[in-house]
């Protein structure tokens, strides 16, 4: 059981009604609270919850419809995303309680200050390195418009300006990451047709650039996070481009027979650092690439990716190195 769920269940009498659990972990909480529903924006957790509690958890950037007696927000990483989520939940809870639960090291104490906008917030419990807070919603906010919270900026790229729409909580919110910037300079000589994948697409900067440069290709953008996929959708639309968006956890969710996989792969998750999704990408990219298909990625120079790429895919070429990042290229020759 996730420690945040354990802290909640210490006060189980508060949570036995029709409750919405937003950003819930994929543990047994829905089993312990039979009247509760979940709302997840993490495709992997959603899939695990769906397997155990079919139909009880929805996925996306909008809270599910329904008249809830209370809601619990599991603190996400980003302050801006917390703001959106608290508002969207509080907007449905006039006169009812909104709870916030999170790890101390994730900043729950600081985030709890954001509850003051809706009423008098109080700490109910502190245990397992987590805190549980409650506010009775007295000042009900208007339903926030997610797209109004987007940061919109323009990148001056070699092949023309690109509009980027980045939503709260999405990687490198409101600016271009240095690693992605380096990769954008090294997208030449990819297969011009066939199926291209932007793995871990975030706001869709790489994918949109690929589609513009290789218009004959069929583009797929994959991310685990619903807010990233929504950002990518908005970025593609802002540039008049079309692609298929895939909500999925890791490379296993990708299509097959790809002519190229392009990625600034993930290496953080929550408050813990994890390279799992990136290592799985390197280990299993070959299964998703067509013969002659290419993996091209940017990574921190200190990450020992080349031996993994050589073991599972083939010769790993370093195309460029700058600012502590490297661009790697490997071609699948079965
Ligand atoms: C380093 S960011 C790159 C974002 C974007 N491509 C860019 O260059 O700005 C990595 C992305 O991978 C996504 N991600 C993390 N874990 C993932 C997983 N298991 N499967 C798919 N995507 C994942 C994150 O949500 C994030 O958007």
| 10-residue mean pLDDT series, the chain (334 residues) | 97 95 98 97 97 97 96 94 97 97 96 97 97 98 94 94 97 94 97 96 98 97 98 98 97 98 83 79 97 97 94 97 97 93
Ligand 1 proximity of 207 Cβ (cutoff 6 Å): no
CA of 135 to the centre of ligand 1 (A): 33
CA of 100 to the centre of ligand 1 (A): 26
Residues 6+ apart with CB under 8 A from 10: 125, 127
Question: Are 191 and 325 within one domain?
Answer: yes
What pLDDT was estimated at residue 92?
A: 96
Residues 6+ apart with CB under 8 A from 277: 200, 224, 249, 250, 251, 265, 266, 269
Question: Are 162 and 125 within one domain?
Answer: no
CA 95 – CA 69 distance, rounded (Å): 10
Contacts 24+ apart (CB under 8 A), 9-16: 10/125, 10/127, 11/124, 11/125, 11/132, 14/70, 14/97, 14/99, 14/124, 14/134, 15/70, 15/72
What pLDDT was estimated at residue 260?
A: 98
CATH number at residue 265: 3.40.50.150
CA of 93 to the centre of ligand 1 (A): 32
Given ligand 1 and candidates 200, 228, 254, which is best to mutate, with the most ligand atoms within 8 Å of its CB? 200
DSSP state letter for 26: S
Supply the residue whose CA is at minimum distance from atom 13 of ligand 1. Answer: 200
Given ligand 1 and candidates 43, 202, 248, 288, which is best to mutate, with the most ligand atoms within 8 Å of its CB? 202
Ligand 1 proximity of 223 Cβ (cutoff 6 Å): yes
CA 243 – CA 217 distance, rounded (Å): 10
Q: Tokens 């953080």 map to which residue? A: 268
Question: Are 171 and 288 within one domain?
Answer: yes
Two tokens, residue 143:
């339903």
Question: Are 43 and 82 within one domain?
Answer: yes
Q: Tokens 């002519």 map to which residue? A: 259
Q: Which atom of ligand 1 is nearest to the CA of 180?
A: 8
CA of 272 to the centre of ligand 1 (A): 15
Ligand 1 proximity of 298 Cβ (cutoff 6 Å): no
Question: Are 191 and 122 within one domain?
Answer: no
Question: Are 47 and 189 within one domain?
Answer: no
CA 105 – CA 271 distance, rounded (Å): 8
Two tokens, residue 308:
């993994």
CA of 213 to the centre of ligand 1 (A): 21
In the chain the beta strands, taken as DSSP E runs, fall at 19-22, 37-40, 57-59, 70-74, 97-103, 121-127, 130-136, 151-157, 160-166, 195-199, 218-223, 244-247, 258-263, 268-269, 272-273, 289-300, 317-322, 325-331
Question: Are 30 and 108 within one domain?
Answer: yes
Supply the residue whose CA is at minimum distance from atom 1 of ligand 1. Answer: 266
Ligand 1 proximity of 266 Cβ (cutoff 6 Å): yes
Question: Are 106 and 154 within one domain?
Answer: no
CA of 1 to the centre of ligand 1 (A): 26
Ligand 1 proximity of 202 Cβ (cutoff 6 Å): yes
Ligand 1 proximity of 45 Cβ (cutoff 6 Å): no
Residues 6+ apart with CB under 8 A from 2: 25, 27, 29
CA 309 – CA 299 distance, rounded (Å): 12
Of 71, 64, 6, residue with least CA distance to 32: 6
CA of 110 to the centre of ligand 1 (A): 26
**Among the three residues 125, 142, 159, which one is the final residue of a domain in this structure?**
142
Question: Are 207 and 283 within one domain?
Answer: yes
What pLDDT was estimated at residue 275?
A: 84
Supply the residue whose CA is at minimum distance from atom 9 of ligand 1. Answer: 202
Q: Which atom of ligand 1 is nearest to the CA of 44?
A: 19
Ligand 1 proximity of 228 Cβ (cutoff 6 Å): yes
Question: Are 84 and 178 within one domain?
Answer: no
What pLDDT was estimated at residue 316?
A: 98
Tell me which residue range forms the domain holding 187: 147-331
The rounded Cα 234 to chain-centroid distance in angstroms is: 15
Tell me how many domains the chain contains.
Answer: 2
171 and 177 in contact (C-beta within 8 Å)?
yes
Question: Are 106 and 250 within one domain?
Answer: no
Question: Are 199 and 263 within one domain?
Answer: yes
Residues 6+ apart with CB under 8 A from 153: 163, 164, 166, 174, 175
166 and 151 in contact (C-beta within 8 Å)?
yes
Ligand 1 proximity of 179 Cβ (cutoff 6 Å): no
**Among the three residues 98, 123, 142, which one is the final residue of a domain in this structure?**
142
Two tokens, residue 55:
């139909």
What pLDDT was estimated at residue 269?
A: 55
Ligand 1 proximity of 205 Cβ (cutoff 6 Å): yes
173 and 80 in contact (C-beta within 8 Å)?
yes
**Among the three residues 96, 119, 142, which one is the final residue of a domain in this structure?**
142
């Amino acid at each position: 059981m996730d420690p945040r769920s354990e802290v909640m269940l210490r006060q189980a009498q508060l949570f036995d009604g029709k409750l919405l659990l937003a950003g819930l972990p994929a543990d047994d909480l829905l089993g312990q609270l039979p009247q509760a529903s979940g709302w997840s924006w993490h495709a992997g957790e959603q899939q695990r919850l769906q397997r155990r509690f079919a139909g009880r958890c929805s996925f996306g950037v909008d809270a599910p419809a329904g008249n809830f007696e209370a809601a619990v927000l599991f603190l996400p990483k980003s302050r801006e995303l917390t703001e959106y989520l608290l508002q969207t939940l509080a907007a449905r809870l006039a006169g009812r309680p909104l709870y916030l639960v999170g790890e101390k090291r994730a900043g729950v104490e600081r985030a709890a200050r954001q509850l003051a906008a809706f009423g008098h917030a109080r700490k109910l419990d502190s245990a397992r390195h987590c805190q549980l807070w409650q506010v009775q919603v007295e000042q009900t906010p208007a339903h926030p418009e997610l797209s109004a919270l987007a940061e919109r900026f323009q990148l001056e790229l070699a092949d023309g300006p690109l509009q980027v729409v980045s939503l709260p909580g999405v990687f490198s919110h409101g600016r271009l990451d240095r690693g992605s910037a380096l990769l954008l300079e090294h997208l030449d000589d990819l297969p011009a047709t066939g199926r291209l994948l932007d793995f871990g697409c975030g706001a869709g900067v790489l994918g949109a650039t690929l589609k513009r440069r290789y218009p004959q290709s069929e583009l797929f953008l994959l991310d685990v996070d619903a807010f990233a996929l929504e950002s990518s959708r908005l970025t593609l639309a802002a540039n008049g481009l079309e692609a298929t968006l895939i909500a999925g956890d890791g490379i296993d969710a990708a299509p097959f027979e790809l002519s190229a996989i392009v990625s600034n792969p993930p290496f953080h998750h929550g408050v813990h650092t994890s390279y799992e999704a990136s290592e799985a990408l390197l280990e299993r990219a070959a299964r998703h690439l067509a013969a002659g298909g290419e993996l091209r990625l940017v990574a921190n120079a200190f990450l020992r990716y080349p031996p993994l790429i050589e073991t599972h895919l083939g010769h790993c070429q370093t195309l460029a190195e700058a600012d502590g990042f490297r661009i790697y290229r490997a071609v699948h020759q079965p």
